[in-house]
Structure 1
């Protein structure tokens, strides 16, 4: 079994910055896209979310809002992971063709 080379610190920092940026961009789409905001409203009104509210003890509007924001943040992060990985794969492929 061959060992993969260790990634550099610079590469790790760039991937981290890309992940944070893509996550922030996805979260911003919630603010500026009525379609995305409608999806979140629809999901937040489901029985599953109502059960989560009860389970977490979110009885007032502020605590429910915090739960929704936590869900949006986690969802955007999970969506950003494969986007950044695909971007890294594309960059590596372009570098492989040049070198």
Structure 2
């Protein structure tokens, strides 16, 4: 059984920066893509979100917008994680081929 080497601090910081950047880019796609914004509007109008509104006490429009923004941020983060992992895997494969 081989033990993987500990990742360096620089690599961890680079991955963190990439994760934040990809998450922000995915969130920005809401602003610039009508298709993505429409998709979020459809999800926010479902019964599940209505029950989340009542569960969290989001009774006014501002509270509901905050809850939607939180959901968008979490969803974009969860989408960014596998993107970053796939990118890291590709970089590692390219480095292994060069060695």
**TM bucket normalised to smaller:** over 0.9
Q: Which residue in the other structure is 1:74 paired with?
A: 74
Post-superposition shift, 1:4?
A: 1.6
Post-superposition shift, 1:50?
A: 0.1
TM-score, normalization: structure 2?
0.98
Q: Which residue in the other structure is 1:14 paired with?
A: 14
5+ residue gaps in structure 2?
A: none
5+ residue gaps in structure 1?
A: none
* Whole-angstrom distance in 1 between the partners of 2:84 and 2:55: 33
* Whole-angstrom distance in 2 between the partners of 1:16 and 1:9: 10
Q: Does 1:61 align with 2:61?
A: yes
* Whole-angstrom distance in 1 between the partners of 2:16 and 2:90: 17
What CA RMSD, in Å, does the superposition of the two structures yield over aligned residues?
0.6
Q: Which residue in the other structure is 1:92 paired with?
A: 92
Post-superposition shift, 1:43?
A: 0.2
Deviating above 6 A after TM superposition, structure 1's stretches of 4 or more consecutive aligned residues are: none
Post-superposition shift, 1:3?
A: 2.3
TM-score, normalization: structure 1?
0.98
> Between Structure 1 and Structure 2, how many residues are aligned?
99
* Whole-angstrom distance in 2 between the partners of 1:54 and 1:74: 20
